[in-house]
Amino acid sequence: MSRAIGVALPIPVDKVYAYELPGELEESVQVGSLVLVPVRTRTYTGVVTELDVQVREGMRLRTVRATVSHEPLFDPELLQLTRWISRYYVCAWGEALSAALPAGMQTKERIVYYLASESDLHWVGISPELQVHLMKHRRTTPAKLKRIGLRISEQEIIRAESQGALRKTVELQEPTVGMKTGEFISLAPAFRSVDALRDLKPQFRGKKQKEIIDQLISFLESGQNEISLPEIRKACGASRQTVRSLEKRGIFSVIEKQVFRIPEWMRSEAIPSSKAPHFHSSQAVAAKALRDAVRTETYQTFALHGVTGSGKTEVYLSALETTLSLGRTAIVLVPEISLTPQTVHRFRARFGDTVAVLHSRLAQGERHDVWQQIRTDRYRVVIGPRSAILAPVKNLGLIIVDEEHDGSYKQGETAPRYHARDVAVMRATMAKCTCVLGSATLSLETLVNAQQGKYTLLSMPERAPTKDRPAASLPVIRIIDLCHEREENGLSGPLSTPLLDAIESRLQRKEQVILLQNRRGYAPILECQTCGFVPQCIACSVSMTYHQGENQLRCHYCGYVRNLPDDCPKCETPAFAPLGSGTQRVSEELGELFRTARILRMDRDSTRTKDAHHEILSVFAEGGADILIGTQMVAKGLDFGRVTLVGVINCDLGLRLPDFRSEERTFQLLMQVAGRAGRADLPGEVLLQTRRPSHPIFSFLQAHDFHGYAQILTQHRQKLNYPPFGRIVGIQIRGAPQPAVEDLANEWKILLLDQLPSTISVLGPERPYIKRVEHQYRYFLIIKAPKTYHSLQEDIRSVLRMAPSTGRELHVSVNVDGLEQV
Ligand code: ADP
Ligand code: ZN
């Protein structure tokens, strides 16, 4: 007799699949194990969610092919949490589970195109570049095409396939990571002391043999209990044979063991330890409240509002200390971008090598091993971005979400489209532990939850003390009216006279400057001065951005790159000129104006390589540059004492976006970047350039009045029933051709209206500002529901089941609590 088990699969179908478990696999399968199973013609790695499932009489089940992990990788808590994610964010359980696994552990399938017949290619209208590529390589994949910037649409593929020019296949890709093993030396009991090895040495005549014994001695002396064979052989250049000769004499045996790929900096124990400072008054109150909560070992969430530089990190450290002293563990979430060595260092300096860091800059094998070691209790504190909330830690006592307002906590592109802050609160509820949401600019969601008593509000309204002052003061904020500068003072570029004067005085005083321009590239767009033509991306309906260094045009949505044509393709005159300014152009202008100033630029272009981000920041931290100019990357978490001026080149960029959260985001961004100035003994100044100086946002910024502006935004949201007062769900329908996408969007609207009670509105279908990305047309619907309506997700789920199937041409995605993708 065989058993049927339930398996959750990483495919967007909302059910648990039943499989027959062959007798020989029974031993190795438990709830939470990974198994390899067939689905139609394909193979997937799934997670076992149930043993002994009920199946209908006479139903033919397919069989589990193999087990992937011999022990369960998910404990009941993570199974429960991912189940909740799948229900709340309307995705498959398997998709949520898959987000919790380190990349590369699942057997994946990938699409491969083979060239079938060369001569036919020409007939099917495939671009010449693609023809050349295919003839050269004979096989290719969508990922490869994307990397080299070649585009091919689904329609083109289908056409080429039907005419026999291309063959498309799906191939199995083995997991790209797994355990790694290495060879180690295990000394025979008689030779496990330095003395015994010393006595042994004269018995050997061979030079290499003596060297190996010396190496063994120094290994023992340094107190290392693991002796790696490759390391020994490398150190003395000994051959296998020499090693074997010693092995034969019974001095040691060579054994194979698992090795962990842990990055060197995470392993090293030489961390200077740090002690907590003497807390200032509101800091002491906040820290005590958290420590007391951790001790109760029950669920409670705190909203920690501390102005920039108030010392929130110290409060976290204090709560962590109590958590560890109780023998419990913690997760600390930070936005990916602030996961700098500076941040990590502060945690490691207090808690040493019990701190694990999970971030995207780890190599795949490293991430796998760190993850496995978190699962087996090697670490007590896990720091990481969004996905670290799904880390397999047991016995949680505390979850911290730093900069909880940060947009990067919401996953928008792929399912599960979860918000890590909200998942954190749910995980804390399940684990019965304390949760802290901290920020200088709390999100309205968190603020309202605190006002309604769901969270406990803690406030730190003043900055931490410095060497000379009882508290560093918040910077002075000045507003520069760009229209006035243009009309009265003849401003033509991006930098006004008051801002230039302020920079000049900082350069003279050897202080540092941070400038924010939230748009990368040289100039947002390039326009033909003769006919007004603006170059557009071929795949997306957006203007391309000019990058001067490379003299290229780039699409910031799909990455398409082309060289700048000499002449305008429309009127054929050589009259392209830049309009507006990106980070590149501003930094170039600064360089011309301040010839001796050392300028660093930090944006997505200058931080493409692995450590670039880290290098730029350490140069700036060590005083190796005077001005740091960048996109929103420069607004987050930086703590540099010599920065006394912050300038924002254009505050208006974020105020006009068609998203109900855009004003809140702009306020957060401006308040955060202003918070980088004057954090230590030197007082700070902030200059905000705008064309709309009368916008209410500015007077609140000048008064550092977070609560005042938050109240205005809150009232607005309440009036319009937007979150946190009502609920919204964005539904995106994308694909090609355009009429099919539009039809499907209309059909979805009808189905939704049918399913939902009349108190709920369905807006749209609308087309977003950017109507087409990567050859796909986009439409969206927005569902607005009262907060009290609890079966919203269930209703959407039933529409998903009823809606026409979508296939590879059309896609529907559901984004609960977010519009980010639309
Ligand atoms: P936040 O995260 O709230 O912006 P940080 O925790 O980074 O603030 O603290 C800002 C700076 O003040 C850091 O350099 C920190 O070491 C220092 N600091 C924090 N608390 C104190 C204190 N009580 N006394 C002296 N310095 C402090
Ligand atoms: Zn594009």
Decide: 465 in ligand 1 pocket, CB within 6 A.
yes
Closest residue by CA, ligand 1 atom 14: 639
Out of 148-152, 551-555, 568-572, least confident range: 148-152
Cα separation of the two ends of the chain? 51
Distance 393 CA to ligand 1 centre (A): 28
Distance 559 CA to ligand 2 centre (A): 6
Out of 358-362, 390-394, 459-463, least confident range: 358-362
**Greatest CA separation for the chain:** 94
Decide: 641 in ligand 1 pocket, CB within 6 A.
no
Distance 528 CA to ligand 2 centre (A): 20
Decide: 639 in ligand 1 pocket, CB within 6 A.
yes
- Which atom of ligand 1 lies nearest, measured to the CA of 313? 6
Decide: 438 in ligand 1 pocket, CB within 6 A.
no
Distance 611 CA to ligand 1 centre (A): 26
Closest residue by CA, ligand 1 atom 21: 464
- Which atom of ligand 1 lies nearest, measured to the CA of 402? 2
Distance 153 CA to ligand 2 centre (A): 13
- Which atom of ligand 1 lies nearest, measured to the CA of 675? 4
Per-residue pLDDT tens for 474-487? 899 999 998 888 88
Out of 56-65, 105-114, 426-435, 530-539, least confident range: 105-114
Per-residue pLDDT tens for 174-224? 666 666 777 888 888 888 888 888 888 888 888 888 888 888 888 888 777
Ligand in nearest proximity to the CA of 680: 1
- Percentage with pLDDT > 70 across the chain: 92
Out of 389-393, 537-541, 587-591, least confident range: 537-541
DSSP assignment of 152-205 equals: --HHHHHHHHHTTSEEEEEEEE--S---EEEEEEEE-GGG-SHHHHHHHGGG--
- Which atom of ligand 1 lies nearest, measured to the CA of 278? 23
631: left (phi over 0), alpha (psi -120 to 50) or beta: beta
Q: Which two tokens stand for residue 199?
A: 């006595």
Q: Is pLDDT above 70 for 267? A: no
Tell me the pLDDT band of 822, cut-offs 50, 70 and 90: very low
Contacts 24+ apart (CB under 8 A), 65-69: 65/35, 65/36, 65/37, 65/38, 66/25, 66/35, 66/36, 67/25, 67/28, 67/29, 67/33, 67/34, 67/35, 67/36, 68/33, 68/34, 68/35, 68/36, 68/105, 68/107, 68/175, 69/33, 69/34
CB 375 within 8 A of CB 73: yes
Q: Which two tokens stand for residue 191?
A: 């030779």
DSSP assignment of 361-414 equals: TS-HHHHHHHHHHHHTTS-SEEEESGGGGG---SSEEEEEEETTT-GGGB--SS
Ligand in nearest proximity to the CA of 545: 2
Decide: 461 in ligand 1 pocket, CB within 6 A.
no
Q: Which of 639, 672, 673 to mutate to test the pocket of ligand 1 (most atoms within 8 A of CB)?
A: 639
Question: What's the rounded mean pLDDT across residues 533-554?
Answer: 79
Residue 265: the pLDDT is: 62
Q: Is pLDDT above 60 for 2? A: no
Decide: 338 in ligand 1 pocket, CB within 6 A.
no
Decide: 441 in ligand 1 pocket, CB within 6 A.
no
Residue 532: the pLDDT is: 73
Tell me the pLDDT band of 769, cut-offs 50, 70 and 90: low
Distance 609 CA to ligand 2 centre (A): 22
Ligand in nearest proximity to the CA of 403: 1
357: nearest Cα among 330, 381, 375, 386: 381
Radius of gyration of the chain from Cα atoms? Answer: 30
Residue 539: the pLDDT is: 72
Per-residue pLDDT tens for 606-636? 888 777 888 898 899 999 999 999 998 888 8
Distance 408 CA to ligand 1 centre (A): 24
241: exposed, middle or buried (Cβ count in 10 Å: 0-12, 13-18, 19+): exposed
d(CA 203, CA 131): 70
Distance 466 CA to ligand 1 centre (A): 9
d(CA 387, CA 395): 18
Closest residue by CA, ligand 1 atom 13: 311
Distance 128 CA to ligand 2 centre (A): 19
Distance 556 CA to ligand 2 centre (A): 7
675: nearest Cα among 284, 283, 276, 312: 312
Decide: 277 in ligand 1 pocket, CB within 6 A.
yes
Distance 542 CA to ligand 2 centre (A): 7
d(CA 802, CA 408): 33
Tell me the pLDDT band of 398, cut-offs 50, 70 and 90: very high
Q: Which of 275, 313, 682 to mutate to test the pocket of ligand 1 (most atoms within 8 A of CB)?
A: 313
Decide: 313 in ligand 1 pocket, CB within 6 A.
yes
**CB proximity list for 394: less than 8 A, separation 6 or greater:** 75, 77, 329, 377
Decide: 283 in ligand 1 pocket, CB within 6 A.
yes
- Which atom of ligand 1 lies nearest, measured to the CA of 280? 23
Give the CA dihedral 318, 319, 325, 331, nearest 10 degrees: -120
Q: Is pLDDT above 80 for 14? A: yes
What stretch of H or E contains 275?
none
Q: Is pLDDT above 70 for 108? A: no
Distance 620 CA to ligand 1 centre (A): 19
Mean pLDDT of the chain: 86
Residue 109: the pLDDT is: 65
Show the CA angle centred on residue 118, arms to residues 113 and 120, nearest 5°. 95
**What counts of helices (H) and strands (E) characterise the chain?**
26, 33
Decide: 14 in ligand 1 pocket, CB within 6 A.
no
CB 678 within 8 A of CB 467: no
Decide: 464 in ligand 1 pocket, CB within 6 A.
yes
Residue 821: the pLDDT is: 52
CB 787 within 8 A of CB 448: no
Tell me the pLDDT band of 154, cut-offs 50, 70 and 90: low
Peptide bond preceding 724: is omega within 30 degrees of 0, i.e. cis? Answer: yes
Residue type, 726: G
Question: What's the rounded mean pLDDT across residues 241-267?
Answer: 77
Per-residue pLDDT tens for 793-816? 999 999 998 887 776 678 899 999
Residue with tokens 């993850």: 371
Most confident of 50-64, 141-155, 227-241: 50-64
Closest residue by CA, ligand 1 atom 4: 309
Q: Is pLDDT above 70 for 468? A: yes
- Which atom of ligand 1 lies nearest, measured to the CA of 314? 6
Distance 429 CA to ligand 1 centre (A): 30
d(CA 563, CA 540): 17
CB 243 within 8 A of CB 166: no
Per-residue pLDDT tens for 675-716? 998 888 888 999 999 988 999 999 999 999 999 999 999 998
Closest residue by CA, ligand 1 atom 19: 311
Q: Is pLDDT above 60 for 332? A: yes
Most confident of 291-295, 351-355, 369-373: 291-295
Residue 6: the pLDDT is: 95
